[in-house]
Chain A
Amino acid sequence: MSAIIEVQDLSRSLPGTPPVTLVSDVSLSIQPATFVAIVGPSGCGKSSLLYLLGLLDRPTSGRVLFNGQDMNSLRGDARARIRLASFGFVFQFHFLLPEFTALENVMLPMRRLGKLPLAEIQAKAQALLEGMGLGEKSAKTPDRLSGGERQRVAIARAIANDPALVLGDEPTGNLDSQNSARVVEMFRNLAHDQGRAVVCVTHDPDVAAAADVQISMLDGRIKETSVRPR
């Protein structure tokens, strides 16, 4: 199986005296239909690695390959286009746009992509929310949803454009155990049933335990990679 995303000798440091190293010489490849958890103590560089994988940040050295294509040479708007069409982010804090309803939030990436007519976009967004068990709440604005509901809307939004890669940055960090379990289940489904690659940075042992691949990081480096047989 060919990797969706692959990084080679990836390093990222912040300029300064001395420079602060966030990620150092990381190489890994991520396969489709795989749930990957990146774990490690705070400040070990796991979120920085996620931002590099998600093309939100540029490495100081090393390469990020998406479907075999080097992403470093691409300009900002081309990288934005790839994020739009192929990536989906879920953050610790739900990060929904407060002025838009749940439905409109899910519609945003599809409208930006502009591949479907508006009516289909709306129908698809509604279907996604129903899949999350939020069919009734699509007209509510984020401030009238619970934390778990917001995170599910965020997940629906993340997968709206059918991304090949879903990136989670502590997606359960702000949820109670019941909602956490639900999100973990959804992530597993995204990987195993829908064939997407899911990469999740987490502190949560339950999330890590549910993953197919567990990558432990320390001081910006990969300490250990363990693959759990399915």
Chain B
Amino acid sequence: MTGQLRLLASVAARHLVGRRRQTVVAVSGVAVGVGFFLAVSAMMIGSQNDFIKTLIDAAPHIIISDELRSPPPQPGISHYKGAAVDLRHYKVRNEVRGLKGWPEILRAVDAVPGAIGSPSLSGAITLRSGGREEALTVVGVDPAIEEKVSTIQDQLRIGRLRDLESTQGGIIIGEEMARRLGLGVGDVVGATSASGKSRSLRIVGLFKRGQTQISSGLGYVLLREAQSLLGRPFIINRIGVRLADPYEAEPISRRLEARYAYKAESWQERSADFLSLLVTRNVIMYSVVSAILLVASFGIYTVVSNSVSDKRRDIAIMRSMGFSERDLQLIFVFEGLALALIGIVAGWLLGYGLMAILGSLKFPIAGEDQRLPLDRSARQYAIAAAASLISGVIAAWLPARKAARVDPVDILRGAV
């Protein structure tokens, strides 16, 4: 059986060699399709991965805050479940805001393999220096833990997060804020909280300008400093969680929220609008790129179709020799298959080359030379090959059916 297939394939190969120019054109069509599919999808997926990585890294993978998605039911309503009770004018008990029982939540977070939770307390304060006042959201953190959870360390122009521990009353603010206050590292600034507490803080570090929104309106202090400044000892209102696998954020956040009722927001939830944008982008990319591959298969259709019409006489003689309809159909499908396969291999090389060129280009972004983020995964090569192979075989199969339907008698009669 394999010998038979080899025979049919060798006939197909001879046909292709006999029409070299058309073969080269069809193969180049597939190669260009596959090559550009690889280059374009490498850029699109590469930039998408880069973008998602930025999204993931910009903040902790999960943020547990002291908010509730729905207000807790009133005791009266939960007590008389299903009763026709309508309580109005009840007095709302004033509760201290913050994550209640946070050490337990933190333990639960740390119990997830590979996960680290960093507790923090944020609140509004006013910075005052030489008659200038600036509003600031101050975040109290444990530098040793926060370092592992967020990328703050990378965003510092001057100083380190750990400097908060070594300096009494240290604070890290944005470069912009420092400029507005006319201060620099080592200077002392007055801070007043909403509860009226006031103290002097020493600037130990500065965020890079324009890096993210955190740079202008945020300031970092030690957790206990924030707790005392904001008058909320032992209280935290946020736990940032970093996971070993960011894509686990969704189920883990749901589990945490189900257990503790506090809002646990995954990075996917926070960036839902961006992520849906990426889906649109992918749909656009794949439709454009599959169009390229589809058009490439038209070349295969043309070659095989021409081959069938040119070889009608040979088809008749082979039929008379005892080749079956299926044999003839296979010969022409093999032609398409061969064109597709050669095109795919050439396209892989082309794509590899294009990626090498794209990867070597440097683009000056924000003063730094950056390279294009490229995704060079084997998956893209496989997708391009599979798509070309399938469309190529279909493109060959359509005219190949015509070959099987050639009636040898019609040809022989016409020729004699």
Instruction: Mark A residues whose CB is within 8 Å of B.
Output: 47-48, 51, 54, 56-57, 76-77, 80-85, 87, 89, 91-93, 95-100, 108-109, 111-114, 118, 157, 161, 169-170, 173
Contact = CB atoms under 8 A, between A and B. Distances in A.
Interface in B311-332: 313-314, 316-327
Given A56-B408, A56-B412, A99-B17, A77 B325 contact: yes
B415 interface: yes
A80 B322 contact: yes
Contacts of B318: 97, 108
B322 A83 contact: yes
A81 B326 CA distance: 12
Contacts of A54: 320
Contacts of B416: 47, 91-93, 169-170, 173
Given A91-B317, A99-B18, A111-B3, A77 B324 contact: yes
6 contacts: A47-B413, A91-B320, A97-B14, A108-B7, A112-B4, A157-B321
Given A47-B416, A84-B323, A85-B322, A95 B317 contact: yes
Nearest to A91: B412
B238 interface: no
Contacts of A57: 409
Contact of B7 (A47, A95, A111): A111
Contacts of B61: none
Contact of A114 (B3, B316, B320): B3
Given A108-B321, A111-B3, A112-B322, A99 B15 contact: yes
Contact of B321 (A77, A100, A112, A173): A112
Nearest to B7: A111
Identify the interface centre among A95, A114, A161, A170: most chain B CB within 10 Å of its CB: A95
A112 B331 CA distance: 13
Contacts of A77: 324-326
B321 A84 contact: yes
B321 A92 contact: no
Nearest to B4: A114
Identify the interface centre among A85, A92, A100, A112: most chain B CB within 10 Å of its CB: A112
Contacts of A169: 412, 416
Contacts of B325: 76-77, 80
Interface in B1-45: 3-4, 7, 11, 14-15, 17-18
Contacts of B326: 77
Given A93-B415, A169-B416, A84 B322 contact: yes
B314 A97 contact: yes
B320 A83 contact: yes
Contacts of B323: 80, 84, 112
A170 B180 CA distance: 105
Identify the interface centre among B7, B324, B327: most chain A CB within 10 Å of its CB: B324
B4 to A, nearest CB: 6
B309 to A, nearest CB: 15
Identify the interface centre among A77, A85, A161, A173: most chain B CB within 10 Å of its CB: A77
Contacts of B327: 80, 112
A87 B322 CA distance: 8
